[in-house]
Amino acid sequence: MATRNIVPRATGEGGIGTAAKKWALGWINALVVTTLNALTLTAAAVGFTIAGGTTSKTLTVTADTSLDEVVAMSSKATQTNSSFTGTLTGCTTAPTATIRYSKNGNMVSLTMQALLTGTSNDATKTITGMPAALFPSVATQFIAATSDNGGAMIASYVSINTSGVISFGRNLDGASFTVSGTATIDKFTVTYPR
């Protein structure tokens, strides 16, 4: 004779074990659950939905997947690729260049793929125009090539402050530029924490 079912008198009544006295193990071929530790499971025509938490969030699965794939998709979802126009200050004109960026989580990478050149009329040279979403969390320093007063390109000190202004020196000491002649900022790439 088949084993009889153990059923409550009405739906939603009774239980097996208590918070104080739990069963050690359970071996079950198929388990149909409506709520699992405050998570609500809902069957669908294709896949299922899990919802729960103090602030409810829903995960809907409609095809075969894995946690590795979910993590990979989440990582891609946080990555932003775009560009902004950087303007060189400290010259008689306002030369511009496209600066491409990639923002992945709290890391930002900037790449300027063209030279910025102008006639100097100020000892300070900066690039402005960075969107606020790219501002560093702390001041960032790196090295790029610059040319002062029409001279040769040399390695120079560069900094990005927390307001997104990129400041250039004319050498590794961060010395000021000559207030005349041609000033040039070379192409550069830098990565820093947001």
Per-residue model confidence as pLDDT tens digits over 32-53:
777 666 666 676 666 666 666 6
Which residue reads 């699965």 in tokens?
61
Tell me what pLDDT residue 39 has.
Answer: 64
Residue 67, judged by CB atoms within 10 A of its CB (0-12, 13-18, 19+), counts as exposed
Q: How many domains does the chain have?
A: 2
Taking the C-alpha atoms of residue 131 and residue 83, their distance in angstroms, rounded to an integer, is: 9
Q: Are residues 45 and 72 in the same domain?
A: yes
Measure the CA angle with vertex 176, ends 129 and 190; round to 5°. Answer: 45
Tell me what pLDDT residue 144 has.
Answer: 97
Q: Are residues 73 and 53 in the same domain?
A: yes
18 lies in some domain: no
Q: Are residues 133 and 182 in the same domain?
A: yes
Q: Assign 22 to helix, strand or coil.
A: coil
Taking the C-alpha atoms of residue 162 and residue 136, their distance in angstroms, rounded to an integer, is: 5
Query: Cβ neighbours of residue 52 under 8 Å, at least 6 residues apart?
Result: 38, 39, 40
Per-residue pLDDT of the chain (194 residues; tens, 9 = 90+): 788 888 888 988 888 888 888 888 888 888 777 766 666 667 666 666 666 666 666 666 666 666 566 556 555 557 899 999 999 999 999 999 999 999 998 999 999 999 999 999 999 999 999 999 999 999 999 999 999 999 999 999 999 999 999 999 999 999 999 999 999 999 999 999 99
> Do 139 and 160 form a contact (C-beta atoms < 8 A)?
yes
Query: Cβ neighbours of residue 84 under 8 Å, at least 6 residues apart?
Result: 98, 99, 101, 129, 130, 131, 134
Q: Are residues 96 and 174 in the same domain?
A: yes
Tell whether pTM > 0.75.
no
Q: Are residues 55 and 89 in the same domain?
A: no
Provide the domain limits for residue 65.
35-77
43 lies in some domain: yes
